[in-house]
Every structure is written in C-alpha cells, then in structure tokens.
Structure 1
Amino acid sequence: MNPSIKKLARIAEKKTRTVIGLMSGTSLDGLDIALCEIEGSGPETEVSLLNFITKPYQKKDREKLRKVTSVEQISLKDLCYIHTWLGQLHADMIVEALFEWDIKPEKVDCIGSHGQTIYHLPNRDLNGDETPLNSTLQIGDGDHIAVNTGILTISDFRQKHTAFGGEGAPMAPLVDEWLFRDKNEHRVLLNIGGIANYTFMPAREAKEMKKFSTDTGPGNTLIDAVVKSKFDKPFDRGGKIAASGNVIKPLLNKMLEDSWFQSDEEKSTGPEYFNLNWIKEKENQAGFSGSDISDKDMVATVTELTARTVAQNLQNHIPANLPVVIYPSGGGAHNGFLMERISHYLDQAELREFSELGISPDAKEAVIFAVLANETVGGYGFNFSTKYGSDQNIHFGKISFPV
C-alpha cells in the first residue's frame, strides 16, 4: 500500500488530532493560522485553540494578489505563477509560526487551507447565455503547502459544495452548529469579513425552529475600498472616519434598492459584485457625481449600508421579540462605530463578545477550516441537502500528500 495512504489511515483512526486551519480573506491583510487540538468528529467535535497568529502580507504581496483577485480580466501568466507562489508563501508562514511556537511539523496531523478566493460567481450573477452553475475559485496550491511543510494538507474545500448544488459559501454554518449551538440560548454568529454573513441557531430545545444562514451583502469590502481609494489607508480603524461623516440618504436608499437585497433566500456574494464600480453605478442612479459627496460622507454611507443590510436580514429571518444573543467576529467586529450602528437597529438583541464561546473572534474562520479538514480525514461528513433532492453526508476538500 502507498505509505502516504497508510499514514492517512493512521491519522483517521486517531481520537484526537492536531490540525492547523488557515484563512486568508478578501481584505488581503494576511494569513490567519490556528493550531487546534480536535477531539472526535461530527456533532461530537470538540476544539481547543492551542495557538493563533496572523502573519501579515507585505505590501508587495498584497499588490500581487490584487492583480488577480475579483477582477474580470487577468494575465494567465500572473495567475499561474501566483497560484504556486501563494502556496509557497503560506507554507513558509506555517513553518515560521511552528518555529515560534516551538512545535515540530511532525506533531501536526494535517492542515486545512482555505486558500485565497480570487473569484466567486453564484449563478444569479451569470449572463443569461451561460449554463446556470455556481462557481468559485481559490488559489494557493495545496501540494506546495504539503511538500514545503511536510504536513498532509487538505485544500479547495468549496468545490464539493458547488458540485452538489451549493454556492460554495457560506460554509461556516456547517461547523457552527457543531461547535456553538446551545441548549437554551438563541444565538446569531455574525461574521463581518469582506462580506457579512451569519448563522442563526435557535436553542436546541426550540425544536420547531430551524437554523438559517446567509450572506447579507457587503461587510468591510465597500468600506475598505473607499478608505483605500480616498484616504490610502487599508481600513477605517474603529470607524472613526465614518463617525466623522454624514450618511447621504438618497444614495443609501438607491443602494438598498439593489435587486441583490430584495430576495430572502440563502445566498452568497463577493467583491466581484459589491465594489467601487457598484458604488459609482448607484451614484449615477441617484443623480450624484463623485465630486458631490465628500470622502468621509461616502465612508459613512457605505458603513451605514453594511449596518442596515445586516440588521434588516436578521429582522426578516428571526421571529419578532425572540430573545437572541449576537456574537460578532471578523474584522468588522473591531469597527466600534459599525457595531454601534448594527446595535442601534437591533436594540432588542444582546451583543456579546465572541470570546465568551471559547475561541478568539479573529481565529474563528481559521478554526472552521481546521474542523472541515478534521472531518475529511476522520469523520462521516456534513449532512447537506443536495441539488438532487436528497440529504447526503459530504466531505469537503482535496488531499495533498507531502511525498
């Protein structure tokens, strides 16, 4: 038997595994690395976060990634090279983190790598002449991570999701139910990354109520894009720029009229849809030119858009007067002004620190991919309603051996 298969079988039989989860989001700020001890699998999964670090991308790295991320036309030469280069870069960052933690690579059973999403394309965003398929593409080659760390690597998780009829996102709800659902407390796990999404998990005792998860629209992506364009800063620290501006209500209303916000179904999106060109389109529709709106007012307006669309989506899907506790994570959780605005619209809900659930809010997404990898090597998979009209247990990700 292939010795790599034998080693995989040994890992699969372990009751407790040491797994690294990786996450690199649309903000392109760096690679989140979560070292986890995971006991069991399936609904009995228990996670202990042993170490966590974000390895920042250098400016030149961010510029390299921007050349191929969420743009319709790119150089195939650049794409080919950056796919390999990013796998090598992530491997180097993992080796560096393990050295800093004084942990030898052979002590790690596997890596779960999300990669870098360069394009996300639900079929609703296709032109009418294409066959309706959900598609998404992540780069950062898993074989290069495996070979250069010496650690079994699982990557490319989202493709199986689309193959069975999903949109490839959001995937966190698959794990949220296992790790964070409570017996008595109705919870909303709100993640504000580039795109905002949430999982509503009614208390286990409320058997008549069902879990719901969806993207709500832009999280930080429009805020970051405007701040980068107008102020040459990567993000609005604490929401200070937004707090100093005024919301341009006619523009906000025109943004809220976008057809993407009109459907209440579970759905996903990305910066391919919500970007500076989208803002320009809404400005034109509202009768503004770029010079009509001050830079800080634009930041205030797109920040309010995120707050309003998050709140409205939650209000549409959670029964009125139901006591819920919201646990925010992602970069947006650090934007105090944004969180104030969300809280303003959801005054009946209680906001608590995500860390109360036992995991750092910054590590949450990386932990998700550690659990996805753990399930692939040692579990029965995630129950998933497929496009074929049946529920199946699905494993996500492709396996790369070190040798």
Structure 2
Amino acid sequence: MNRSLSDLLQTAQKEQRHIIGLMSGTSLDGLDIALCQVSGSGQETAVQCREFVTIPYSDSEKNLLKRISSVEQASLSDLCYIHTWLGRLHAKFILNALNSWGVQADTIDCIASHGQTIYHLPARDLKEDLEPISSTLQIGDADQISMLTGIPTLSDFRQKHTAAGGEGAPMAGFVDELLFTSADESRILLNIGGIGNFTWLPASGRKSVARFTTDTGPGNTLIDKLTHQFFNLPFDRDAGIASAGTVDESLLGQLLSDPWFDEKEEKTTGPEYFSLEWLRDLVTRAGFAPGSLKPETLIRTVTELSARTIARRIEEFLPEGEKPVIYVSGGGARNPLLIQRISELLPGISVQNSASLGIDPDAKEAIIFAVLANEMLAGEGFRIRTDDQKVQFGKISLPH
C-alpha cells in the first residue's frame, strides 16, 4: 500500500488529529491559516484552534488573482498558470506559518484547502439555454500543496455538494450544526464575508424544527469594491467612510427591487452577480448621472443594503416568535455601522461576535474546512437534504 495512504488511514483512527484549515475569500485579502486540534466526529466533534494567522497577498499577487476572479471572460493561459502558482504560493505560506509557530510539518496530519473561488454559478443564474445544473470553481492545486509541504491535502470540497444536487454553498451549515448547536438557546451563525450567509440552529431539544443555511446577498463585496475604487483602500475601516455619508433612499429602493431578494428560498449567490456592473446599472435606472453621487453616499447606501438584506432574510426564515442569539463572524463583524444597523433592524434579538462562542471571527471559515476534512477522514458525512444519503466532501492529494 502507498505509504502516504497508509499514514492517512492511521490518521483516521487517532483520538486527535492536527489539521490545518485554509480559507481564501473572494475579497482576496490573503490566506487564512488555522491550526486545529480535532477529536471525534459527527455530533461528538470537538475542535480547538491552536494557532491562526492571515497572510496577506501582495499587490502583485492580488492583481494576478483579479485577472480570473468573478469575471465573465478570462484567459485560459492565465487560468492554467494561476491554478498551479496559487497552490505553490499557499504551500509557501503554510510552511512560513508553521515555522513562525515553531511547529514541525511532520506533526500535521492533513491540510484542508478551500482554494480560491474564481466563479460561482447557481443554475438560476445561467444566461444560456443549458441543462440547469449548478457549478462552482475553486483553484489552487492541492497536489502542489501536498508535495511541497509533505502533508496530505484535502481540497475541492464544494464539488460533491453540486454532484449531490446542491449549489456548492453555503458549506458552513454542516459544521455549524456539529459545533454550535445548544441545548437551550436557538442561534443564528451569521458570516459576513464578500457575500452574507447564515445558519439557523434551533435549540437541540426542538427536534421538529430543522436547521437551514442560506445566503443573504452582498456582505462586504460592494463596500470593499467601492472603497478600493474611490479611495484605493482594501476596505472601509471602522465604517469611517460610510459614516461620513448618508443613505440615498431612492437608490436603495432600486437596489432592493432586484428579483434576487424576492425569492424566499434557501439559495446562494456570489460577487459575479452582485458586481460593480450590477450596481452601475441600477444607479442609472434610479436616474443618477455617472459621477453624480458622492463616494461616501454610495458606500453608505451599499452598507445599508447589506444590513437590510441580511435582516430581511433572517426575518423571512425565522419561525414566528423566535428570538435567537445572532453570532457574527467574517470581515463584516469588524464593521461597527453594519453590525449596529443589523441590531437596529432586528429589535429584541441579541447580536454578538462569534468570539462569544470561543471562535475567532476571522478564523471561523478556515476552521470549518478543517472540520469538513476531519469528517471526511473519520466520520460518516453529511446529508445535503434531510432525506438524502450522507456524502463526504473533499478530494485527497498525497505527497508521494
């Protein structure tokens, strides 16, 4: 038997596994690296994040990724090259992180690499008369990571979700249910990345109420893109720019009229849909001439859009009379104006940082993929729908 495969089988039998979770979001800030100690599987899963770091992409690295990220057309030569290059870059980042932590690579059981999403295409967003299947594409070749680090690497977690009839997202709900279900507190785990999504977790004593996960629409994506366009900054730190502007209610009404927000079902989206082109089109429809709106007004208005669509989506899906606690993670957790507006729009509901649950809001997504890898190795998997057979997420790349 292949030695690496034999070692991986032994890893599955361990009481504890040391797994590195990786996440690189659509904001292209950098690579989140979480060193997790995971024990058990399924409902018995326990995880501790022992170390965490975000290694930022340089401007040149970010610009290379932008060539192929969430764009309608990209060069095949760029795609081919960047897929391999990114895997090698992530391997270098991992080795640098391990060195800074004083951790030997041979003590790590496996790596769980989400990769970089370059396009997410739910069936409803197809623009041609094609077979209505959902698809999603993440790059950053895991064989490069595995060979350069010497650590077995699991990747491509979203493909099984689409193969089983899902949209490839959100993935967080599977792990949220394992780690954060409470016996007596109903919870919403809200992640505000480029796109917002949340998991509804009824208290575990209420077996008749099912967990569900859905996207909410834009989270940080429009805020970040406008902030970069007008101020050459990666994000609106502490909502300083938005706080200097006012909400244009006419424009906000036009944005909220998009049919995507009217479909009351569990679904996903991406920055491919909620793009600057989408925003420019609706600004024009609202009757504004190009350049007539102050940048601060635009950024304040799209911040309000994110807050209102998150709050509206929660209200639509929340069972009547429920007052759960909302725990927020992702970059949006650091936007005080966004969090304030969500709280004001959902009176009587407590909105807290996920740190209240012992989870670093920046590390949560990397931890999620570490747990998905753990379940692939040592668990029984997950049901995408309640009546489906269980499936495992992830493909294995061995270092030898």
Contact 1:321-1:348 within 8 A present in 2 as well: no
Counterpart of 1:336 in structure 2: which amino acid? Answer: P
Find the aligned partners of 1:162 and 1:29 in 2 and give their Cα distance.
26
CA distance in 2, matches of 1:36, 1:115: 18
Letter paired with 1:49: C
Q: How far is the alpha carbon of 1:291 from its aligned partner?
A: 2.1
Larger mean Cα displacement after TM superposition, 288-297 or 315-324: 315-324
Please list, as runs of the form range in 1=range in 2, the aligned pairs for 1:1-400 lying within 5 A after superposition: 1-385=1-385, 390-400=387-397
Distance 2:248 2:156 in 1: 41
Count matched residues.
400
- Report which stretch shifted further, 285-294 or 258-267: 285-294
Kindly report structure 1 stretches of 4+ aligned residues shifted beyond 4 Å.
none
Gaps (5+ residues) in structure 2?
none
| Stretches of structure 1 lacking an aligned partner (at least 5 in a row) | none
Cα offsets for 1:23-81 (capped at 9, x unmatched): 00011011000000000111110001110000111111100100010001111111111
RMSD value, Cα: 1.0
Question: What do residues 136-181 of structure 1 show as CA deviations (whole Å, max 9, x unaligned)?
Answer: 0000000000000000000010001000100000000010000001
1:402 matches 2:376:
no
Opposite residue 391 of structure 1, the aligned amino acid is D
Conservation of the 8 A alpha-carbon contact between 2:333 and 2:353: no
Q: In the aligned structure 1, how far is the partner of 2:337 from the partner of 2:320?
A: 25
Q: CA deviation at 1:2?
A: 2.0
**Cα displacement (A) at 1:381:** 0.9
1:293 aligned partner, one-letter code: L
Which amino acid letter does the alignment assign opposite residue 169 of structure 1?
Answer: A
Per the TM alignment, residue 128 of structure 1 is displaced from its structure 2 partner at its CA by 4.2
Distance between the aligned counterparts of 2:320 and 2:253, measured in 1? 24
The one-letter amino acid paired with 2:308 is R
Q: In 2, Cα distance between the equivalents of 1:238 and 1:103?
A: 34
Counterpart of 1:209 in structure 2: which amino acid?
V
SS, match of residue 34 in structure 1: strand
For 2:398 and 2:19, the matched residues in 1 are separated by: 15
Contact 2:166 2:384 in 1 (8 A): no
Deviation string 1:275-305 (CA, Å, 9 cap, x unpaired) is: 1100011112111122221110000110000
Aligned-pair identity in percent equals: 55
Q: Kindly indicate whether the alpha-carbon contact (under 8 Å) linking 1:134 and 1:167 is maintained by their aligned counterparts in 2.
A: yes
- What is the SS of the residue equivalent to 2:291? helix
The 3-state SS of whatever aligns with 1:382 is coil
Q: CA deviation at 1:320?
A: 3.8
SS across alignment from 1:116: strand
Q: Deviations over 1:223-271 (max 9, x none)?
A: 1111111111111001111111011111111111101101111000000
